[in-house]
C-alpha cells in the first residue's frame, strides 16, 4: 500500500488523558452494510459512517460493480442497478479484506461472483474455506482460480443447513447475505455472534429479509423473492470504545466516551475493572477513570462474546506497565504477536511462546522509533508511547487511519502530546 506523506505519529509520553471523546460508526459493520446494499435495486442510505479510507475503497468497488455511490459527511447513499457487474478486481480487494463481503450478495442477486483473494491486514491465513463451503451448501459452485474466488449459481440458491467449524464473522455474513434471497430455509449453526452480525441482520430485516436468532449461535433465514432499499444507522465501534477505555486506564486518566455501548464490551470492561479502573455508565456512553497503576490482567481472546482479538495489543500494552506478571493468549488470529517485537523496543518485557505472551510489567516504558504492522498494532503502540518516557515515533501511520478517524486530533483534545507528520 502506498504510504502518504503524513505517515508517522510523534508522541511525547507522560500525559494523563482527560476529557471527552465521541465514538463513530463501526468500521467492521459499515463495510458489510455497504456490500449488502447490492441485494436491493434502488437507493439505500447508511448513516453514522466513519471517516475512514476503507469506506472510500468500498465505494470504489461498488461503483465498479455499477452502483452510484455518494458520500456526504457521515451519510453514504448507494444507488444499486437492476443488473450489477460481478467481478471485484485485485487492485481494490488487496487494499481491503472486507471486499470479500460482496461475494454473498452478488451470487444471490446475479448468480455469479468473481472476487479477488484479499490481502490487507497482516493477520495470518484467515481462510476463505468457510465462505466457499457455505455457498456450496446453498447450491453454488465455488472454486479458486488465478487468484479469484469464483462462485456461480445460475439457477439461484436453495436454503440448506450450514454448520461452521469455526464461528467466522465473514463466513456468517456471506452465507446470511446469500441466503436471504434463496428458496426456502437456511440455518447457520455455530454462527458468529458479534454485534456487527446483529447490525447486518437488522439491516437485512429492514430490507424485507426474514431472519431469526441474531446474536445467538443458530441463525435461521427464510428466503424471500425480493428485497427493497433501506435507511439504516450503523452501530458505534466497540473496538474504538475499548481502545479509549484502555487509554484511560493506562495513562491513569479520566475519559468520558460518548456513543459507547457497554453491552458490546462486557468482558473487556470487566477486565479493566479488575485492573483497577472505575467504570460508570453515562446517559450516552461510559466514563473510565483510573487513579492507580494498573494491576496485571490475564486475558485469552475468543470469538464474541469472548475477549476481542482486536483489543489484544491494548491488553499487552497495559500489562507492559502494570503491576505484576500476566499471561495473554491469542486464540483467534495467528499473526497478532508481530506487535510484541515493536513493543519490546519501548522496553516492554514480553516473551512469546506460540499462542501465549508472558508479560512482566515495568514502571515506565522508554520512547523509541517503532512501526505499525496493522490497524490495532498501531493503536496499541500509540497507547504504549503515551506511557513511555521521552519521544516515540510510530511509522506506517496509514494503518491506524484505517480504523481510527482523526486519532491524533482526538488524543490532542484529551491532553496528549501527539503530532502527525
Among residues 39, 26, 164, which one has the least CA distance to residue 103? Answer: 39
Q: How far, in Å, CA of 385 to CA of 393, rounded?
A: 8
Q: How far apart are the first and last CA of the chain?
A: 18
- Cell numbers 487494499: residue: 95
- Cα 345 from chain centre: 27
Q: How far, in Å, CA of 381 to CA of 312, rounded?
A: 12
Say whether 129 sits in a helix, a strand or coil.
helix
Say whether 233 sits in a helix, a strand or coil.
strand
Strands 112-116, 87-88: pairing is parallel
Backbone dihedral angles phi then psi of residue 198, each to the nearest 5 degrees: -65, -40
Count other C-beta atoms under 10 Å from residue 4's C-beta. Answer: 11
**Active centre residues (catalytic):** 121
Could you tell me the strand order of the sheet in which 254-258 lies?
18-22, 254-258, 285-289, 278-282
- What single DSSP character describes residue 39? G
Assign residue 363 a region: left if phi > 0, alpha if psi is -120 to 50, beta otherwise? alpha
Cα Rg of the chain (Å, integer) = 21
Environment class of 16 (CB within 10 Å of its CB; exposed 0-12, middle 13-18, buried 19+): middle
Per the DSSP assignment, residues forming a β-bridge with 20 are 256
User: Would you mind telling me the total number of residues written for the chain in this entry?
Assistant: 421
The residues, ordered by sequence, that sit 6+ positions from 304 with a Cβ below 8 Å of its Cβ are 192, 193, 194, 195
Are the beta carbons of 7 and 396 closer than 8 angstroms?
yes
Amino acid at each position: 500500500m502506498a504510504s502518504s506523506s503524513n505517515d508517522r505519529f510523534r508522541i511525547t509520553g507522560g500525559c494523563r488523558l482527560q476529557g471527552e471523546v465521541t465514538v463513530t460508526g463501526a468500521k467492521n459493520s459499515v463495510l458489510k452494510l455497504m456490500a449488502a446494499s447490492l441485494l436491493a435495486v434502488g437507493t439505500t442510505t447508511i448513516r453514522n459512517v466513519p471517516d475512514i479510507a476503507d469506506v472510500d475503497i468500498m465505494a470504489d468497488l461498488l461503483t465498479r460493480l455499477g452502483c452510484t455511490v455518494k458520500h456526504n459527511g457521515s451519510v453514504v447513499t448507494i444507488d444499486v442497478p437492476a443488473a450489477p457487474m460481478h467481478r471485484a478486481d485485485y487492485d481494490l480487494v488487496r487494499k481491503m479484506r472486507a471486499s470479500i463481503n460482496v461475494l454473498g450478495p452478488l451470487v444471490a442477486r446475479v448468480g455469479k461472483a468473481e472476487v479477488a483473494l484479499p490481502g490487507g491486514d497482516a493477520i495470518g491465513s484467515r481462510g476463505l474455506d468457510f465462505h466457499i463451503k457455505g455457498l456450496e451448501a446453498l447450491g453454488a459452485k465455488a472454486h479458486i482460480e488465478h487468484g479469484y474466488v469464483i462462485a456461480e449459481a445460475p439457477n439461484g440458491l436453495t436454503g440448506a443447513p450450514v454448520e461452521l467449524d469455526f464461528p467466522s464473522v465473514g463466513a456468517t455474513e456471506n452465507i446470511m447475505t446469500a441466503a436471504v434471497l434463496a428458496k426456502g430455509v437456511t440455518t447457520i449453526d455455530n454462527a458468529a455472534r458479534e454485534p456487527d452480525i446483529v447490525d447486518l441482520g437488522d439491516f437485512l430485516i429492514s430490507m424485507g429479509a426474514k431472519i431469526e436468532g441474531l446474536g445467538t449461535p443458530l441463525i435461521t433465514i427464510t428466503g424471500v423473492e425480493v428485497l427493497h432499499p433501506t435507511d439504516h444507522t450503523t452501530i458505534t465501534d466497540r473496538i474504538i470504545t475499548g481502545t479509549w477505555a484502555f487509554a484511560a486506564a493506562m495513562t491513569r486518566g479520566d475519559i468520558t466516551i460518548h456513543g459507547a455501548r457497554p453491552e458490546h464490551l462486557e468482558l473487556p470492561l470487566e477486565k479493566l475493572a479488575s485492573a483497577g479502573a472505575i467504570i460508570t455508565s453515562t446517559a450516552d456512553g461510559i466514563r473510565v477513570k483510573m487513579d492507580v497503576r494498573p494491576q496485571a490482567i490475564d486475558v485469552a481472546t475468543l470469538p464474541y462474546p469472548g475477549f476481542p482479538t482486536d483489543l489484544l495489543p491494548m491488553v499487552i500494552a497495559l500489562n507492559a506497565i502494570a503491576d505484576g506478571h500476566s499471561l495473554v493468549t491469542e486464540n483467534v488470529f495467528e499473526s497478532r504477536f508481530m506487535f510484541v517485537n515493536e513493543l519490546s523496543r519501548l522496553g516492554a518485557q514480553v516473551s512469546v511462546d506460540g499462542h501465549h505472551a508472558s508479560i512482566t510489567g515495568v514502571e515506565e516504558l522508554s520512547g523509541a522509533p517503532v512501526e505499525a504492522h496493522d490497524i490495532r498494532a498501531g493503536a496499541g503502540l500509540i497507547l504504549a508511547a503515551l506511557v513511555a518516557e521521552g519521544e516515540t515515533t510510530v511509522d506506517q501511520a496509514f494503518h491506524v487511519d484505517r480504523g481510527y478517524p482523526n486519532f491524533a486530533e482526538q488524543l490532542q483534545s484529551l491532553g496528549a502530546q501527539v503530532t502527525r507528520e
